[in-house]
Structure 1
Amino acid sequence: MSDVTRRSLLATGAVLLREGGVASPEYDASELLAHVLGVTRGGLVLVDHISDEQSDRYLSLITRRAAREPLQHLTGAAYFRHVELAVGPGVFVPRPETELLAGWAIEQASRVLRATGADPVVVDLCTGSGAIAKSIADEVPGARIHAVELDEAACAWAARNLSGTGVDLRQGDMEQAFDELAGSVDVVVCNPPYIPLDAWESVATEARDHDPDLALYSGQDGLDAMRVLEERAALLLRPGGVVGAEHADEQGPDGVGGGAPAVFAATGRWADVRDNRDLAGRPRFTTARLAR
């Protein structure tokens, strides 16, 4: 098929996605065509033949994406820092902003390794697809990583993604996870559910209709899971160990009641309670150090 037809397919796809309210129509149109053809987005310019079957498959995927089915569900993959993850129905699709939290955890684990020469012990609570745990395993070889996920379907995706990494993955509630590690963990990291129950209408269609509710909602103020995390991290960490947890934009230090940072600061157990902004300057995750 000619280059004009390839461009025509992409243009048609972008128009349909834009009409469906997709935020990045050109990007998604290119990703889907690359997926159908088995090439990278950059490799599309090298394709000189597209069959009618491939064209029909592409337009079918475009229709599903225009109906706001997540792009990653259609391609079966999500990319997070330097790793690829298998994703689909039943698991929360990792977001780019969470890469900053993962980067923080990687930096903290690496710091322990440099300072002590010992393999850092890291716990990833609410691991979901296993994105953070897999990134730490990828970038901090030798780290002893433990991860837990409550939802059965999500845990199955995590098991697939963490296979061969050496991560100790368990299915269960973070409130009771890893009692045997009490007082020995260097880094606790968590991307918990944090959407208030009455805020579901504000959630993007892709997340509201396709991500599991267990990964999204957390009580009336969205901070119920954060409170559980604070208690569990205080139990697991060694004195001087650190915790990092993602939260919603509105749950930074200027949020109601001081937001996520206040959950840690109010207990008196933590030093160096800080909130961290994402690349767009929005409050994104809280970090704290267990007081010695």
Structure 2
Amino acid sequence: MDRKPLRLAILEGERVLTAAGIPSARAEAEMLAAHLLGVERTKLMMFPLVDQSVVDSLEQLVRQRASRTPLQHLTGTAAFGRVTLAVGPGVFVPRPETEQLLEWALSRLRGLRNPVVADLCTGSGGLALALAHERPDAEVLAVENDPAALTWARGNAERRRQAGDTSVHVLEGDVTDPGLLAEREEGVDLLVCNPPYVPEGTPVPPEVGDHDPPAAVFAGRDGLEVLRHVVAHAARLLRHGGGVAVEHDDTHGGSVPALLAARPALTDVRAHNDLAGRPRFATARRESGEEPPSG
């Protein structure tokens, strides 16, 4: 059987993806080829010639990606921090920009021994598992209410458990419940959250609108419906000196820090931009003193 140059198949894939408006067309064509061959992208040069079946399979994957099926749904995985997550239909695909929040969270834990971490709206478990990987001494509580996302998170946690990360506990819970994690009040060292935060009606790419679960993306007219609950939980769950970091929409650069600052129990509120200079997440620290009753 004649073998075909992989380089030419990748170039054709790049052409098709570029025509479809995929920004990183060459990189994605290479990632799809690496996925088919079961190797890292950097090892593609070791396969100058491939069977026709590989070329045909690559063409099929490229067509699916050109139709805006998420790359991660085609490969079945998403890298986040230093862990690899299984992802697919029914769960939000973690984004690279959230890794800045991860970096902040790890810096916040520096110097703490055996910290307790809560990851609300965990989705596939990305933040929780990446934190546990870097801090195996931490107890990490990964909270999610969507049944499909819970299945993905539990599967990812089990795979990480088999790899030695044993400290993540995936819990079913709803952030709109004012008593969420009641047994942990004032006992959490770090609370992180990448919640749904896009205002309803906001145009989104097809990869998001057609494939991410709407409940993991949109959060009311202003995009703050879930975030308000998350901020309330931070004020209640964090121990004195504990930290909170929440991701938000780039239109929330003023509103989310204001929500945090409105809680007397939270102080040292700071806004953080992503690498493109857009508002991306906000942080605060738990101060001592009683949180006034709500309502």
Structure 2 unaligned regions, length at least 5 = 289-295
**What's the counterpart of residue 270 of structure 1?**
266
**What's the counterpart of residue 293 of structure 2?**
none
**What's the counterpart of residue 192 of structure 2?**
189
**What's the counterpart of residue 207 of structure 1?**
208
Shift of residue 27, structure 1, vs aligned partner = 0.7
**What's the counterpart of residue 153 of structure 1?**
148
TM-score after normalising by structure 1:
0.92
Q: Within 5 Å, which residues of 2 pair with 1:54-203?
A: 54-113=54-113, 119-163=114-158, 164=161, 165-176=166-177, 177-199=180-202, 202-203=203-204
Name the CA distance, whole Å, in 1 between partners of 2:134 and 2:277.
26
Name the CA distance, whole Å, in 1 between partners of 2:150 and 2:245.
21
Name the CA distance, whole Å, in 1 between partners of 2:280 and 2:88.
25
Aligned length: 279
Shift of residue 243, structure 1, vs aligned partner = 0.7
Moved more, 222-231 or 163-172: 163-172
Moved more, 269-278 or 185-194: 269-278
Structure 1 unaligned regions, length at least 5 = 114-118, 254-258
Shift of residue 49, structure 1, vs aligned partner = 3.0
**What's the counterpart of residue 29 of structure 2?**
29
The two structures, once aligned, show a CA RMSD in angstroms of: 1.3
SS at match of 1:128: coil
Name the CA distance, whole Å, in 2 between partners of 1:43 and 1:190.
35
Shift of residue 175, structure 1, vs aligned partner = 3.2
**What's the counterpart of residue 232 of structure 1?**
233
State the AA in 1 paired with 2:147: E
**What's the counterpart of residue 285 of structure 2?**
289
SS at match of 2:245: strand
Retained in 2: the 8 A contact 1:188–1:244? Answer: yes
Q: Which has the higher helix share?
A: 1
Name the CA distance, whole Å, in 1 between partners of 2:48 and 2:228.
56
Name the CA distance, whole Å, in 2 between partners of 1:143 and 1:267.
27
Retained in 1: the 8 A contact 2:7–2:48? Answer: no
Shift of residue 224, structure 1, vs aligned partner = 1.0
**What's the counterpart of residue 116 of structure 1?**
none
Name the CA distance, whole Å, in 2 between partners of 1:11 and 1:50.
14
Query: Per-residue CA shift, 1:9-67, capped at 9, x if unaligned?
Result: 11110111111121211111000011111122111111043112111111110000000
TM-score after normalising by structure 2:
0.91
Query: Kindly, what percent of the aligned residue pairs are identical?
Result: 46
State the AA in 1 paired with 2:190: V
Moved more, 133-142 or 233-242: 233-242
1:46 aligns with 2:50: no
SS at match of 2:201: helix
SS at match of 2:275: coil
Shift of residue 241, structure 1, vs aligned partner = 1.4
Query: Per-residue CA shift, 1:123-179, capped at 9, x if unaligned?
Result: 000001101000111101210111111111111111111111321111220233311
Retained in 2: the 8 A contact 1:148–1:172? Answer: yes
Shift of residue 2, structure 1, vs aligned partner = 6.5
